[in-house]
Structure 1
Amino acid sequence: MNGKPRYALIVAGGRGLRMGAEMPKQFLPLTGLPVLMHTMRRLAPHVDEIVLVLPVEHHSFWQELCTRYGFMSPHRVAAGGDTRFASVHSGLELVPDGALVAIHDGVRPLVSAETIEACFHAAEAAGAAAPYRPLTESLRYYTPEANHAVDRSQYVTVQTPQTFRSEWIREAYAMPYEERFTDDCSVYESSFGRPVTLVEGNAENIKLTTPQDLALAELLMR
């Protein structure tokens, strides 16, 4: 790989309540491997190092899983926080300045090589990038008092990996947490006011949240 060193910061702190399973969704089996291992395998060929952010109480269980499945992909583990914001902040401490860092949800195991590469290239050129998908259904603005149609062509959904120059996103995460921070791009924009470059992501790059998502991922991977 040419250019700046590349890091993947994979955040896997979810409890998976909507999945309805006994264990967190990042550890659930998917075509014979835990979801999180699939995610790491997708990113590994594109980066120099992986930083995995897990709650401290999951560290020993993760090591047991790695031993059980013979999972040898090199990575470092950081301690997750009470919020995603705190977890990303913790993981960024293991990423040096002068690098590019792709911050990715641990439960997005179907991100494509093309999406990963597009985000890295755009972030190297402009400082920040994120994958998006166009909306395909009609969209309405809604409140309990009123609702009306809006032009869906002016809106997109955003995926991960959201990718940045490491020193810029670390500086952004030095600010206190606010409720309006919905993803890494919102933290970056709040700090700098700089635009984020959007690149088209792949439709299969879904976030596994419900049992239906897990079933769909199983079908797509098979």
Structure 2
Amino acid sequence: MDNVDDFVRAVRTGLASAAEPAKAPGMRRYMKSEMPFHGVPKPARERLTRRLFADFPLPDKESFVAAARKLWREAGFREERYVAIDLTGHRLYRRWQESSLLSLYEEMIVTGAWWDYVDEVAIRRVGPLLRAEPEILEPQMRRWAVDEDHWRRRTAIICQIGAKDDIDPGLLTFAIEASIGEQDFFLRKGIGWALRQHARSDPAWVRRFVDDHPGLSPMSVREALKHVAR
């Protein structure tokens, strides 16, 4: 698959050329990342990907998935994984967004295992799949909600952020209730975030939910009711 290899090489070369080494240590510290950074700020990365996605179109779904996996699995710098996520959301490949991609996104969630990867994939990739194919994704999110892996759980909790009136309150309830007793910061924060966002559409529902679930952590409650009238 020469087109995949050419694309990946161009990404690596482009990121190396756009690197700002002085920024790399601070970016790495902020993300608590074992993987090094090139030091490419997001605006510069977006300019690069805009050009590369146009110059190296991937002809079919197989090439698209292969390119994303290669960038992800063989990344030497964190920005390569960011580009892999960017690639999966590009408009050129919107027609291939279907439930068969869930295994790719699950790999990114589980092996990425940090909020900068997981939140983008959960909300902007898994969430739209859930709304498009609920008969497949809803049972899967219920399984993830009780999974031993906390990043799968966080995904099940936050994947409906942005759904507005298309939210499935039953799934949201199930996902949150499955993790109410967990001490993990990212689960507690995710619960509060998901409820706070849903409060934009249905504040009364969120108020009732909080009142009915005294086991919610103070952090989750604080986040959930941030914009709900007392």
TM class, shorter-length? under 0.3
Bigger Rg, structure 1 or 2: 2
The structure with more strand, counted as a fraction of residues: 1
RCO comparison, higher one (Cα < 8 Å, 6+): 1
Using the size of structure 1 for normalisation, the TM-score is 0.25
The structure with more helix, counted as a fraction of residues: 2
